[in-house]
Structure 1
């Protein structure tokens, strides 16, 4: 019976850690750039786009397609950084737990 109570305590502790980590990830902002810094985007840890910064030299009518590509590239850069930060935080939190490779946490 003690083992079950101990296990329940660990489950509650893990749940509290996961909730804290989710709040930390939601509050986190990452920045992605492309075109050598000509386009910069900011995303929340959950992937919501919160800002775009475009160098004025790109605001030419005949360069719209280039600008569109740079925005997409900057977004992908920021999203990759957010995903890497989330994976690192998850790894830190679950250290020592027997979680199968490739298992996705529910957030």
Structure 2
């Protein structure tokens, strides 16, 4: 291995390590932001509320006094569990929204966009002289297209060149 390869390898490794450091710093900042949040879960239209920290620690349980008078102990316990589960679900949703990577940008298509009328079978009326001079060649099968079969321009030597619109 010569010195140029070693220098290129070292440069690539330095770039990779810098990217790892940047990503780790970003993830730690996101995690700290999540830990500082407070999440609230609800049951019975707010009759019971539960507050959690972003770490999942329970901070507070609040039960409306009317709820205690209206329901028995078992039902109040079920409402508390419902509020806890709602808070945990909201915490999970917040965690996913923080740590889900943004969608990748669309990649440019390598297939040219073209209107179906670019090709002779759809741009010349059947039986016309132009259509007769541009029969499909046996070496170039039709390509399926929503507007009907499309034949590659190379199969029509006498046809005008096909132009593709900019994608």
Q: Over aligned residue pairs, what C-alpha RMSD do you find?
A: 1.8
User: Could you state the TM-score of these two structures normalised by the residue count of structure 2?
Assistant: 0.53
| Distance (whole Å) between structure 2 residues aligned to residue 31 and residue 54 of structure 1 | 13
Give, in angstroms, the shift of residue 69 of structure 1: 0.5
User: Could you state the TM-score of these two structures normalised by the residue count of structure 1?
Assistant: 0.81
Structure 1: 4+ residue segments shifted above 6 A: none
| Distance (whole Å) between structure 2 residues aligned to residue 88 and residue 62 of structure 1 | 36
Give, in angstroms, the shift of residue 95 of structure 1: 5.6
Q: Over alpha carbons, which structure has the higher Rg?
A: 2
Mapping of 1:63-74 within 5 angstroms? 63-74=72-83
Which runs of no fewer than 5 residues in structure 1 stay unpaired? 97-107
Task: With a CA cutoff of 8 Å and minimum separation of 6, indicate the structure with the bigger relative contact order.
Answer: 1
Structure number having the greater strand percentage? 1
Which runs of no fewer than 5 residues in structure 2 stay unpaired? 1-9, 105-167
The count of residues paired between Structure 1 and Structure 2 equals 95
